[in-house]
Amino acid sequence: MKQNCNPDELASCAEVVKHVKNVKRYLNVIAKRLKDRGLKHDQSKTEDPEVSIFAEYTPKLKKSTYGSDEYNKFLQEMKSALDHHYAQNRHHPEHFKNGLDDMTLVDLIEMLCDWKAATLKHNDGNILKSLEINAKRFNISPQLYNVLKNTVEQLFEEH
């Protein structure tokens, strides 16, 4: 940004400075929400009715392939814990009546981070493969799929 505005430019420069301050403020609101989500993520898994079921199934899920028949069978067997989990955690499409359509960008960011972290728990985890599976599972539009894929490629693939 130009440091020394002439008198004709002063009003415009002042508006730019004001705009930048507002954008920073709103980005900080989002950053705070994301930080709060990180602090509270999946706390319901540490309490009943979830804790005992997740303790039993986490090792089984780790050995399975995401989206496989075996994996889906485990999900069915975990239904009571998962129903509770989804009801308590809005970063899951299952939390909402209309799935992804009712989610916010903050929900979607937490969801994508959750999906990436989940791939690390599987011996053959792959976030891009998981994204493909979840695109079908949750009827993700091509446009949103591309946004999520672009985000994965920019943020996660180097890690």
Q: What is the pTM of this model?
A: 0.90
pLDDT exceeds 60 at position 45: yes
pLDDT score at 98: 97
Region 129-158 average pLDDT: 94
State the chain's mean pLDDT as an integer. 94
pLDDT exceeds 80 at position 158: no
Q: Is there a cis peptide before residue 49, judged by omega within 30 degrees of 0?
A: yes
Residue 140 burial (CB count, 10 A) = 20
CB–CB of 9/16 below 8 Å? no
C-alpha R_g of the chain = 21
